[in-house]
Amino acid sequence: MKHILLIATGGTIACRESGRGLAPSLTGEELLEFLPEIRKICRVFVDNPFSVDSTDITTSQRRELAMMIWENYDRYDGFVIAHGTDSLAYTAALLYHMLRNFNKPVIITGAQRPMGEPGSDAERNMLDSFRVACVGWTGVAAVLHGQVIRGNHVVKVHSKAMNAFRSINAPLAGTIRDDGKVLLNIPPRLGGEPEFVDIVDSSFVVLKLVPDLDPSIIEFLRRYDKVILEGYGAGGIPIRLEKVVQKLILSGTKVYITTQCLEGEVDLHKYAVGRRAEAMGAVSLGHRTVEDAIASIQCGEI
């Protein structure tokens, strides 16, 4: 029977009403009490590094999770992280890049409703996560609502619905049937030696381009090494912002362009606005999600 480490970090899945709104209170051990069937799937060990609403999770806590997994590589067959859903996509992307070529399962899950509440998705998501961790999946993935989503493609698209996550710009990595059978769609092995990639860059900012954006905001961004501009459609820089963006690039800040569209990719060759942006030195982020782009910058890949 496989040995899986459950890392409980809080989130709705662990929440109880506090009198001042939902707040995480259940430990990993307490979450498992709701899942007696788990004994048939695997042997679970528990760690509770912190218990917070994922709104409050910092990069250093995300790094702590990556370290915990890396340092326990030999001890367990896989890892399941119970996490708040709101910022789960950022954690999934960062772990995906920090645990390069990881050849054991790292599954991140959460729930839209607290464990034990009638109609909650917590029980199913947890059981499914342990199931996926036991069938030979390797690398970082989110498991929610019967879907397996590779770590660098996870996006939360709904604030309340049970089916709140999508695999953006990539097919689902797998599904879990109602009877618990896991169907993986892609070969699980990534190849290459597992490697811990540490965070090397924290001087970045993301700015969404909106109509009439004050150009002086872009001047202010010179203090950052890297700026991601969330542009429109296939990408480009509005003519009224060209001068300030050009100055920003000449000052040494690297400028990347992503798209506000949820799906599809940046194509700076298609339109004149895109070509002008490229000519001044802006770099396309292609089909990356913003979460993935941030993690790539943090890990020094771009």
Interacting residue ranges for ligand ASP, rule: CB under 6 A? 11-12, 53-55, 84-86, 110, 112
Can you tell me the distance from the alpha carbon of 261 to that of 29, in angstroms, rounded to the nearest whole number?
40
Smallest distance from ligand ASP to CB 22, Å: 7
CB of 189 to ligand ASP, least distance (A): 31
Residue whose CB is less far from ligand ASP, 110 or 146: 110
First to last CA, the chain: 40
CB nearer to ligand ASP: give 108 or 234: 108
Considering the complex, state which of residue 162 and residue 213 has its C-beta at the smaller distance from ligand ASP.
162
The three-state secondary structure class of 292 is helix
CB of 172 to ligand ASP, least distance (A): 20
Alpha-carbon distance 293 to 258, whole Å?
9
Q: From the CB of 55, what's the least distance to ligand ASP, in Å?
A: 6
Residue 21: CB minimum distance to ligand ASP, A = 10
Shortest distance, position 26 Cβ to ligand ASP, whole Å = 12
Nearer to ligand ASP, 4 or 57 (CB): 57
DSSP character string of 206-254: EEE--TT--HHHHHHGGGSSEEEEEESTT----GGGHHHHHHHHHTT-E
Tell me which amino acid residue 210 is: V
d(CA 144, CA 141) in angstroms, rounded, equals: 10
**Does the CA dihedral 275-276-277-282 come out positive or negative?**
positive
**d(C-alpha 272, C-alpha 278), whole Å:** 10
Q: Residue with CB nearest ligand ASP?
A: 84
**Residue of 112, 118, 210 whose CA lies nearest to 157:** 112
CB 255 within 8 A of CB 281: yes
Q: Which residue has the tokens 């996560």?
A: 129
- Which residues are annotated as catalytic? 12
Q: Quick one: which of 52, 49, 46 has its CA closest to 66?
A: 49
Q: Closer CB to ligand ASP, residue 54 or residue 289?
A: 54
CA 66 remoteness from chain centre: 13
Nearer to ligand ASP, 55 or 60 (CB): 55
The β-bridge partners of 205 are 227
